[in-house]
Amino acid sequence: MNGIIPWRLKGLMKGFVKVLGIDIWDYEYSELSKIVGLVKQNPLDQLTTFTVRDEIAFGLENMRYPKDEILKKVDEIAKFMKITPLLDRDINQLSGGQKQLTVLSSFLAMDPKILILDEPIAFLDQNSESLLLNQLKRLKKSNRYRFTLVIIEHRLSRVIDIADKLVVLNENGEMHLAGDIAKILRNKYNSLKSCNLRVPWSIDIINQFKKLNLNHLEMINPINFNEIMQLIQNLPKEYLKVLKNIIIETEINPKALQEYESYEQIINFPDLYIESLKDKKEDETKYLADKVKDKTAEVILETQHLNFIYPNSGIKAIDDLSIKIEKGDFIGLVGPNGSGKTTLLYLLANLYQPIKGNILFNGININKIDPLEYARKIGFIFQNPENMIFKSTIKEEILYAPLNFGILNEISNEYLSKLIKLIGVKDHNRNPFKLSWGQKRRLNLSSIFIYNPEIILLDEPFIGQDQKTIDSLIETLYLENKRGKTIIISSHDYHLLLKYTKRILELNKDGSLIDYDTKENYFTKHKSLGPIILLNEINKLIEEI
């Protein structure tokens, strides 16, 4: 739609695309770029300059706008997007969300006729996400900014209040559904689920409720939270109890994972993982039971008065952080953009050095551990999957860590084949950079699992993933956790953290500690999440009835 194909990416094209009634082949590429703006999924793909102010001005400078007009437009857009305090900040000192807001602002400054946003809120915290979505609503109604908005998004709940129409493509790139977004959400649930979209959780639970209570088949699908709150007001007590159990079993303690609740149970996951202990003669049940005892007794990671300031900026990313992480824990790391979540993961992985304080691994300061030895203990999944791809084939990429650790002879071909299968491709000689975003993420996991680290750190792993991929990723991590691995996931997706983690670690804007508690206690104290609000309202109604 914006001419990258065919002017920059080549291939075989049939049919035609018209923009404002003119075929894209009849445009000059530079002219089409002014008309159709494309904000890519990863902001790093589009950031060109050194400061936020220069980035917003970059397109206008190339279009030879007068200097005074450029300065005025930059200030106007920054004020509208509420990023004025960032204007003189270096790009490399921005959080992922701040970078996305900067890229979006740079396109708005050019007054496009069509603006395409590819997963625009993927890198944003809740506050930034709300800000951006509210700004998009304002843009849609504004007489000052008149353009057609196209949003690519897996999470339909995020675009319900903005989009008029919905177009759903299947895995073959064919149009599966198209039409009014509200009508599709209300009437086409099964078709939506078949395309691996992240359907709003409220629609999911209502459709499960309908299956258990056939006399409610005519109940409409609620497309926003207010509708579901109104819907439950007229349900009798026995139906409220059924709905309550569905919410708990799908959104809080997923029933699908309950079969793995016992550590003593032998976990079979033949399509993904080969348990190395199978080649040994010791009893697996005893081993797993011992791992439980170890988990409750050991602190695997500890930070003591940890501090970190980015060089030449004075920006404190981590402030006096003291926490203990138990072996076998599964932690959700949360906080606003710029709160130091990624920085903390880098510090725990020994990629950054604190300016003050200590990090202990099994009671030993990591500064006293050989870096290569410590690296084998840590598996790090970066926010951008391309940041940890180094080789030109999938097989070479997966074997890159074992090669560096000198353990190639310990890797079985069968295990390697299973990890390649996890990615979803058959050709192990395929170039990793030609994989989809989701496939690259699964390649990252395979390249970590291959050397069996004790700790797995993941920075925003759910970005750009469809429902099927998220389910597969979560199940994989859940099983690894049951095998004793310690997992820390940094994410803005509180809903998924509510469903799958054990503890929540929350950082403040300055990198200091706000809260560190069990998932149950954390979400009891912080009641703003939809399923928690709904559950509390149902409990209230049950008591009243």
Mean pLDDT of 147-176: 89
pLDDT of residue 273: 36
Percentage of the residues of the chain whose pLDDT score is greater than 90 = 43
The mean-pLDDT minimum among 6-10, 74-78, 163-167, 531-535 falls in 6-10
DSSP, res 155: B
Full domain range(s) for residue 35 = 4-152
Answer with the residue of higher pLDDT: 222 or 135.
Answer: 222
Is residue 527, in this structure, part of any structural domain at all?
A: no
Is residue 216 a contact partner of residue 242, using CB atoms and an 8 Å limit? no
36: pLDDT strictly greater than 50: yes
Residue that is last in its domain, among 127, 152, 177: 152
Among 483, 502, 475, residue whose Cα is nearest residue 266: 483
Are both 358 and 449 inside the same structural domain?
A: yes
11: pLDDT strictly greater than 90: no
The tokens describing 48, both together, are 């060109």
pTM: 0.76
User: Other CB atoms closer than 10 Å to residue 457's CB: what's the count?
Assistant: 26
End-to-end Cα spacing for the chain: 55
29: pLDDT strictly greater than 90: no
505: pLDDT strictly greater than 50: yes
Mean pLDDT of 360-382: 94
Helix (H, G, I), strand (E, B) or coil at 71: helix
Answer with the residue of higher pLDDT: 379 or 383.
Answer: 379
Q: Could you read off the pLDDT of 346-358 as tens digits, one per residue? A: 999 999 999 999 9
Residue reference for tokens 């009641």 = 527
Mean pLDDT of 85-98: 84
The tokens describing 316, both together, are 């404190």
DSSP, res 251: I
pLDDT of residue 113: 92
Q: Could you read off the pLDDT of 109-138 as tens digits, one per residue? A: 988 999 999 988 877 777 777 777 887 888
Alpha-carbon span 500 to 331, nearest angstrom: 9
Calculate the average pLDDT of the chain. Answer: 85
Are both 356 and 472 inside the same structural domain?
A: yes
Mean pLDDT of 154-177: 89
pLDDT of residue 369: 95
Are both 349 and 279 inside the same structural domain?
A: yes
Are both 426 and 296 inside the same structural domain?
A: yes
CATH number at residue 351: 3.40.50.300
Question: Cα 411 to chain center, whole Å?
Answer: 30
Mean pLDDT of 504-529: 89
Give the count of domains, the chain: 3
Is residue 102, in this structure, part of any structural domain at all?
A: yes
Specify which residues 458 forms β-bridges with.
381, 489
Amino acid at 462: F
pLDDT of residue 268: 36
- CA angle in degrees (0–180, nearest 5) for 300-303-308: 140
pLDDT of residue 287: 38
The tokens describing 397, both together, are 């990429």
Are both 306 and 447 inside the same structural domain?
A: yes
Alpha-carbon span 83 to 227, nearest angstrom: 34
DSSP per residue over 82-115, as a string? T-GGGTTSBGGGS-HHHHHHHHHHHHHTT--SEE
Is residue 168, in this structure, part of any structural domain at all?
A: no
Are both 281 and 339 inside the same structural domain?
A: yes
Is residue 162, in this structure, part of any structural domain at all?
A: no
Non-local (6+) Cβ contacts of 544 within 8 A are none
Mean pLDDT of 25-51: 88
73: pLDDT strictly greater than 90: yes
Q: Could you read off the pLDDT of 442-498 as tens digits, one per residue? A: 899 899 989 999 999 999 888 767 777 787 788 778 878 887 899 999 998 888 888
Mean pLDDT of 308-328: 89
Mean pLDDT of 320-334: 95
The mean-pLDDT minimum among 98-102, 326-330, 343-347 falls in 98-102
Residue that is last in its domain, among 130, 152, 174: 152
Are both 283 and 229 inside the same structural domain?
A: no
Answer with the residue of higher pLDDT: 120 or 272.
Answer: 120
Are both 240 and 277 inside the same structural domain?
A: no
Amino acid at 329: D
Are both 333 and 455 inside the same structural domain?
A: yes
Non-local (6+) Cβ contacts of 417 within 8 A are none
User: Other CB atoms closer than 10 Å to residue 143's CB: what's the count?
Assistant: 5
Among 444, 488, 486, residue whose Cα is nearest residue 465: 444
Alpha-carbon span 106 to 516, nearest angstrom: 38
Are both 354 and 417 inside the same structural domain?
A: yes
Are both 365 and 498 inside the same structural domain?
A: yes
Is residue 337, in this structure, part of any structural domain at all?
A: yes
Residue that is last in its domain, among 128, 152, 176: 152
Is residue 359, in this structure, part of any structural domain at all?
A: yes
pLDDT of residue 161: 85
261: pLDDT strictly greater than 60: no
Is residue 376, in this structure, part of any structural domain at all?
A: yes
Among 176, 112, 186, 187, residue whose Cα is nearest residue 150: 112
Are both 122 and 32 inside the same structural domain?
A: yes
Percentage of the residues of the chain whose pLDDT score is greater than 70 = 92
Q: Could you read off the pLDDT of 278-313 as tens digits, one per residue? A: 333 334 334 344 444 444 458 999 999 999 998 877
Is residue 71, in this structure, part of any structural domain at all?
A: yes
pLDDT of residue 117: 92
pLDDT of residue 474: 80
Non-local (6+) Cβ contacts of 134 within 8 A are none
